[in-house]
Amino acid sequence: MRAESRGARAPKGGTMFCHQCQETMRNQGCNAAKGVCGKTQEVSDLQDLLLYTCKGIGYWATKAGEKGLFDEETAFFVDRMLFATITNANFSASEFTAWTLEALKRRDAIKAAYLKAGGKPDASLPAAALWSANDAEGIKAATAKGSGGWLAVQDEDRRSLESLVLYGLKGMAAYIEHAYMIGKSSKELFVFMFRALAMLADEAADKAKLLDLVLETGKQGVAAMALLDGANSGTYGKPRITQVKTGTRGRPGILISGHDLRDLEDLLEQTKGSGVDVYTHGEMLPAHYYPYFEKYDNLYGNYGGAWWTQGKDIETFHGPVLFTSNCLVPPKEEQKARIFTTGVVGFDGCAHIGDRPEGGRKDFSAIIALAKKCQPPEQIEDVTITGGFAHDQVMALADKVVAAVKSGAIKRFVVMAGCDARQPARAYYTDVAKALPEGTVILTAGCAKYRYNKLALGDIGGIPRVLDAGQCNDSYSLALIALALKDAFGLDDVNKLPLSFDIAWYEQKAVLVLLALLSLGFKNIRLGPTLPGFLSPGVAKTLVEAFGIKGIETVDKDVAAMMAGK
């Protein structure tokens, strides 16, 4: 198969070794002064050290839990640190240095609370629970040793299993963070996060138990996606079928990118009546599907494409751009004055908007003031995007969908969810969408949809051939739709549905989505454009044998195989 995994082999030289995204060098790992994403070796090493420290927090927090102790503030801190290290979120060495020092203080505070409660540490403590530093120089010395990096894990199967867990936790952290911002949290998920990190801190952890932890991460991932789904729909209403404009209307604008709906709400409230329009970009597109945002006539439309097109989209937009989550590409020097970050996003040289005060809103006045001084955005297209097919909306159409399947009008559903990225090989997904026979319906979520959501693919008896459920976390909706269809057809196995998976992945939220789908019983998932470089041959073999995971081949071969149910 064309997308065969090359294994999680650590190349020699340097301390940087990062293999968390799909674009990693040679599909093995970035090991240079700068990674493909633009992250420097310094930042990569600092991220490794921060995560290492969080594993130490996980160890002591799990021990403290045995004494009935739980610190939600620290749990959310760890969640944010996992989120901050996701691909394309934060590139600031100074922030990671400060966060690591804070993590050490929090780790030692939990340790002290545990000992005060009468707890006794294990005879052999993991190094992540013990190491220390008092200042930036101490942090620098630890990174020079490669502390916490993947190069320290020599067994490639162990490294592969630990990677699956850690990257799954990063994806989970993103969903938990967004839910937390609108007042929804889960102690159970935080406790699992601590426990998983504690096991990752154990350098002698049994590999069979690590594999069990991989599968449990998928199960907990379903719970995290359900948490966010309930938080979003409970706050902003259930997504409904929506027509989204892509043009402009000649007024100054602010472009908002990322996933955080609470940030969008704050921005819309503060731009009401200002003469400044707000446009969504990338993964913020599905915000238009929530009825809550209908009341804002200053939310005009969607501008540009997926996250990786932002360089040219920023050029033609002219106004300021707000990045709310993992989606930032290192900007050109001349663009930095128009780029604002918030939450865990950070890039040196770009203005950062601080956290909202309790019960209040983030202060976006500086962005609004700059927007008023900028030219209106150039119109780069004028089409309409249809979306809003989350699980509640599709279930409202269930009778129509079932009838279309029974009549033969719909022959197959193809889930083409996941991530987009800049590689030319990703044209595969556009070509697959064009090549699928007219009797197929594409179910999508995530920015992968930008490869085909503006194609004129038509409909089947009024059912659009592309049903967009929303952001990458809304892959949960696609799973619920499939499970509901299984029940509607009276099947005992979801894999007996006329359903195929052809998923594109890029970063760690897609890893969690994959693990979540496996935990729900879905099999025979195609994953591309490459299988993850962090999958060792041994672990890849296990996933293939247990779940039928496969790579992509050619468009013609894959379309033929999917239509044949293979």
CB 299 within 8 A of CB 251: no
pLDDT at 5: 42
Average pLDDT for residues 239-265, to the nearest whole number? 97
CA distance 513 to 210: 18
Query: Which of the following CATH numbers is that of domain 39-234: 1.10.10.10, 3.40.50.150, 1.20.1270.20, 1.10.443.10?
Result: 1.20.1270.20
Q: Please tell me which residue, 146 or 212, carries the higher pLDDT value.
A: 212
Sequence-ordered list of residues with C-beta below 8 angstroms from that of 441, at least 6 positions apart, any chain:
410, 412, 413, 414, 460, 463, 464, 465, 466, 467
Mean pLDDT, the chain, as a whole number?
95
> Over 60: is that where the pLDDT of 68 sits?
yes
- Which helix (DSSP H) or strand (DSSP E) does residue 385 occupy? strand 384-387
Q: What is the DSSP letter of 422?
A: S
* pLDDT (mean) for 302-311: 97
Q: What's the whole-number mean pLDDT along residues 157-176? A: 97
Question: For residue 3, what pLDDT is reported?
Answer: 37
Instruction: State the pLDDT at residue 388.
Output: 97
Share of the chain above pLDDT 70, in %: 97
pLDDT at 13: 45
Predicted confidence at residue 12, as pLDDT, reads 47
pLDDT for residue 9: 47
pLDDT at site 16: 87
**Does position 70 have pLDDT exceeding 60, yes or no?**
yes
CATH class (in words) of the domain with range 242-373: alpha beta
CA atoms within 13 A on the CB side of 556: 0
Asked whether the predicted pLDDT for residue 279 surpasses 60, the reply is yes
The enclosing H or E element of 172 equals helix 156-181
122 or 178: which carries more pLDDT confidence?
178
Position 151 confidence tier, pLDDT thresholds 50, 70, 90:
confident
Query: What does the pLDDT look like over 327-349, one tens digit per residue?
Result: 899 999 999 999 999 999 999 99
SS3 227: helix
Beta bridge partners of 279: 255, 301
Residue 14 has a pLDDT of 53
Average pLDDT value for residue range 21-48: 94
User: Range with the lowest mean pLDDT among 259-268, 365-374, 484-493?
Assistant: 484-493
Res 271: pLDDT: 98
Looking at domain 391-563, its CATH architecture is 3-Layer(aba) Sandwich (3.40)
What pLDDT score was predicted for residue 152?
Answer: 87
Is residue 502 within 8 A of residue 415, CB to CB? The reply is yes
Question: Rounded to whole angstroms, what are the CA distances from 137 to 33, 98, 108, 109?
Answer: 20, 12, 19, 22
**116 sits in which H/E element:** helix 93-116
Instruction: Indicate if the pLDDT at residue 74 is higher than 90.
Output: yes
Q: What are the extents of the domains in the chain?
A: 39-234, 242-373, 391-563
Same topology between domain 242-373 and domain 391-563: yes
Q: Of 451, 504, 513, 512, which is closest to residue 478 (Cα–Cα)?
A: 513
pLDDT in tens, 388-413: 999 999 999 989 999 999 999 999 99
How far is it, in rounded angstroms, from Cα 13 to Cα 36?
A: 17
Residues 346-364 pLDDT 10s: 999 999 999 999 999 999 9
Percent of the chain with pLDDT over 90: 93
